[in-house]
């Protein structure tokens, strides 16, 4: 699996955009970048994913560099409920349609009032 | 839909005891998996299943057994509990496509303590 590197923690003021970086310099051409988050004591929650193009949904935007070696998750207007650990994951397809998610330690985002 | 459900929410075991963590989903998902999460760590994959009757090992399978007799259920069995298995256990499921880019839906977790 391609490995990812994320800063261990970040702060963001409430109402401002939160930009969470992720490096995945060994990513393969057919591997997707996924973002999940885990609010304290809960199960992880899917946020967004992408392959090459930038993506946007109701929760966030995902910006992937042209060389695909890094990406940024953007929460446009962070709220206190966005305080969580954010995981950047690269998915490897392991034959016959099966796959595994490899979670690193993620980035702990603290949204400050 | 109830989504992914896990029981029990909390469990305390003594070393050497056995037990089964239950996981069920009502979304007709083919892919199910079990993760464990230790303090300050990310999630680590224990076992996974791509459909009824098919299971495979993940990153940390030792000490755990699984079976998948139905699409809905994917129980995780601890054969002889050890303190090193104290952790939070998450079950997840997702639809299975050949492109395998479907999102995974996680259950609320089971907090297990082994004394």
Could you say which of A99, A103, A106 has the minimum Cβ distance to residue B100?
A99
Q: Do A43 and B40 touch (CB under 8 A)?
A: no
Q: Given a cut of 80, is residue A66 above it in pLDDT?
A: yes
Distance to chain B for A97, nearest Cα, Å:
5
Q: Do B43 and A99 touch (CB under 8 A)?
A: no
Six token digits for residue A55:
């993506």
**A108: CB partners within 8 A, 6+ apart:** A8, A9, A10, A84, A85, A86
Tell me the pLDDT band of A94, cut-offs 50, 70 and 90.
low
Q: What is the mean pLDDT of residues B23-39?
A: 92
**What pLDDT, on a 0 to 100 scale, did the predictor assign at position B100?**
47
Q: How far apart are CA B115 and CA B106, in angstroms?
A: 27
Residue A60 · residue A48 · CB < 8 Å: yes
Q: Do B96 and A97 touch (CB under 8 A)?
A: yes
Tell me the chain A residues in contact with residue B106 when contact means C-beta distances shorter than 8 Å. 43-45
Tell me the chain B residues in contact with residue A44 when contact means C-beta distances shorter than 8 Å. 43, 90, 92, 104, 106
Residue A1 · residue A102 · CB < 8 Å: yes
Q: Given a cut of 70, is residue B60 above it in pLDDT?
A: yes
**A80: CB partners within 8 A, 6+ apart:** A14, A111, A113
Q: What is the mean pLDDT of residues B55-75?
A: 94
- Mean pLDDT computed over every residue of chain A: 89
Q: How far apart are CA B19 and CA B77, in angstroms?
A: 6
Could you say which of A46, A96, A103 has the minimum Cβ distance to residue B43?
A103
Tell me the pLDDT band of A87, cut-offs 50, 70 and 90.
very high
Q: What is the mean pLDDT of residues A37-43?
A: 90
Tell me the chain B residues in contact with residue A42 when contact means C-beta distances shorter than 8 Å. 108-109
Residue B51 · residue B30 · CB < 8 Å: yes
Q: What is the mean pLDDT of residues B80-96?
A: 92
Could you say which of A91, A97, A101 has the minimum Cβ distance to residue B98?
A97
Mapping DSSP to helix (H, G, I), strand (E, B) and coil, where does residue B99 land? coil
- Mean pLDDT computed over every residue of chain B: 90
Which parts of chain B are beta strand (E)? 4-7, 10-13, 19-25, 31-37, 43-51, 54-57, 64-66, 76-78, 87-94, 105-106, 110-114
Q: Given a cut of 50, is residue A75 above it in pLDDT?
A: yes
Q: What is the mean pLDDT of residues A67-93?
A: 92
Q: Do A105 and B50 touch (CB under 8 A)?
A: no
**What pLDDT, on a 0 to 100 scale, did the predictor assign at position B74?**
97
Q: How far apart are CA B33 and CA B49, in angstroms?
A: 6
Q: Do A44 and B96 touch (CB under 8 A)?
A: no
Could you say which of B42, B43, B104 has the minimum Cβ distance to residue A46?
B104
Lowest mean pLDDT among A83-92, B48-57, B89-98: B89-98
Q: Do B100 and A45 touch (CB under 8 A)?
A: no
Tell me the pLDDT band of A95, cut-offs 50, 70 and 90.
low
Residue of chain B whose alpha carbon sits nearest to that of A87: B42
**What pLDDT, on a 0 to 100 scale, did the predictor assign at position B97?**
53
B19, with CB counted inside 10 A (0-12, 13-18, 19+), is middle
Q: How far apart are CA A35 and CA A54, in angstroms?
A: 13
Q: How far apart are CA A15 and CA B14, in angstroms?
A: 47
């Amino acid at each position: 699996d391609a490995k990812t590197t994320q800063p261990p923690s970040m702060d963001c003021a409430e109402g401002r955009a939160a930009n969470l970086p992720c490096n995945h310099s060994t990513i393969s051409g057919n591997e997707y970048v996924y973002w999940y988050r885990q609010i304290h004591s809960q199960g992880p929650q899917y946020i967004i994913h992408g392959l090459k193009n930038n993506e946007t949904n109701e929760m966030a935007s995902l910006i992937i560099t042209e060389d695909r070696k890094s990406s940024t998750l953007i929460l446009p207007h962070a709220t206190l409920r966005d305080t969580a650990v954010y995981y950047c994951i690269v998915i490897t397809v392991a034959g016959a349609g099966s796959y595994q998610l490899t979670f690193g330690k993620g980035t702990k985002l603290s949204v400050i009032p | 839909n109830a989504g992914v459900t896990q029981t029990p929410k909390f469990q305390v075991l003594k070393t050497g005891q056995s037990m089964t963590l239950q996981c069920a989903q009502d979304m007709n998902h083919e892919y199910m998996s079990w993760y464990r999460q230790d303090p300050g760590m990310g999630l680590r994959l224990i076992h996974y299943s791509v459909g009824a009757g098919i299971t495979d090992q993940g990153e940390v399978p030792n000490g755990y057994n699984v079976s998948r007799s139905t699409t809905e259920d994917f129980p995780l069995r601890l054969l002889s509990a050890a303190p090193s298995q104290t952790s939070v256990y998450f079950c997840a499921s997702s639809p299975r496509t050949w492109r395998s880019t479907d999102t995974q839906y996680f259950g609320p977790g089971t907090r297990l303590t082994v004394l």
